[in-house]
A and B are shown apart, each in its own frame.
Chain A
Amino acid sequence: MTAGLVTCLMTAGQTSDDYRFLGRAPKEAFWRRYAEYTSFERPTALLLSKGDAFRAYVSGVYSARRDRTRTPLRYTLVLEGPCGGEGSALVLRALAAFLDDLAETPVTPQKVGVLGRALDKAFPEPFVEGALSALREGADSDRSPLVEVESRVAQAIESLPDSAPRMRSDIRFFWGGRASAASRAQFLGYAERLLTDGEGGAALALNLASREHLERLGGTESSCGILFAGEEGEEAFSDPLEWPPKKGRPGSPKGLPRAIVLAREAQVEPGWSARWGQLLLGVFQTVRGWFLGRRESS
Chain B
Amino acid sequence: MNGEEGNIEFKVAIVGPRRVGKTSLITALLSESQKLLAGTPVSIAPVGTTEARIAQHKNDLRGSLLAGEFHPGALGGTQAPFTFTLAMTVNKTGIVWAILDYPGGWLDTRTRGSENDGEWERCRTWIADSSVLLLPVDAAVLMEATLKREKITAQHLLQIGQTEELAREWAKGRAVARQPGLVVLAPVKCESYFADNGGLIDKNEELYRRVVQAYKPVIDAVRQEMSGSIGLSVQYHPVDTFGCVELQAAEWRPEGSAVPTSDTAPLTFSATYIVRPPGTPTPRGAGGILISICRQIVEAQSGKGRGFLADLWSWLTGSKRKLRQAVEDLSKADPGARVRML
Contacts and interface: CB of A to CB of B under 8 A. Distances in A.
A193 interface: no
B73 A41 contact: no
Interface stretch (A16-24, A111-119, A238-246): A16-24
A148 interface: no
A31 B115 CA distance: 13
Contact of A29 (B60, B112, B119, B253): B119
Nearest to B108: A18
A26 B59 CA distance: 32
B195 interface: no
A68 interface: yes
Contacts of B256: 14-15, 129
Contacts of A21: 113, 115
B227 interface: no
Contacts of A25: 113-115
B295 interface: no
B317 interface: no
B112 to A, nearest CB: 8
A21 to B, nearest CB: 7
Given A17-B19, A210-B52, A70 B74 contact: yes
B80 A35 contact: yes
B297 to A, nearest CB: 27
A18 B111 contact: yes
A136 interface: yes
B256 to A, nearest CB: 5
Interface residues of B, number: 41
Interface string B11-33: 00000001100000000000000
B327 to A, nearest CB: 27
Interface in A1-20: 14-20
B55 interface: yes
A39 B75 CA distance: 13
Interface in B73-90: 73-74, 76-83
Contact of A232 (B55, B73, B80, B271): B55
Interface string B38-54: 00000000001100110
Range class of the A interface residue count: 35 or more
Contact of B103 (A19, A109, A207): A19
Contacts of A88: none
A35 B115 CA distance: 16
B110 interface: yes
Nearest to B258: A15
B253 A68 contact: yes
A35 B82 CA distance: 7
Interface in A84-113: 109-110
B80 A71 contact: no
Contacts of B82: 35-36, 39
Contacts of A15: 255-256, 268
A118 to B, nearest CB: 21
Contacts of A207: 52, 56
Nearest to B19: A17
B21 to A, nearest CB: 11
Nearest to A16: B111
Nearest to A18: B105
Interface in A59-97: 59, 67-72, 74, 76
A230 B79 contact: no
Contacts of A208: 49, 52-53, 56
Contacts of A59: 79
A226 to B, nearest CB: 14
B243 interface: no
B125 interface: no
A178 interface: no
B248 interface: no
Contacts of A123: none
A40 interface: yes
A231 interface: yes
Contacts of B74: 70-72, 110
B46 to A, nearest CB: 11
A159 to B, nearest CB: 26
A41 B113 contact: no
A32 B80 contact: yes
Given A15-B256, A15-B268, A70-B73, A40 B80 contact: yes
B338 to A, nearest CB: 26
A210 B48 CA distance: 10
A21 B81 CA distance: 17
A41 B52 contact: no
B144 to A, nearest CB: 14
Interface in B97-150: 103, 105, 110-116, 118-119
Given A19-B79, A29-B115, A41-B76, A70 B270 contact: yes
A32 B120 CA distance: 13
14 contacts: A16-B105, A18-B111, A19-B77, A20-B111, A29-B118, A39-B53, A41-B78, A70-B71, A71-B73, A72-B76, A76-B79, A231-B55, A231-B56, A233-B52
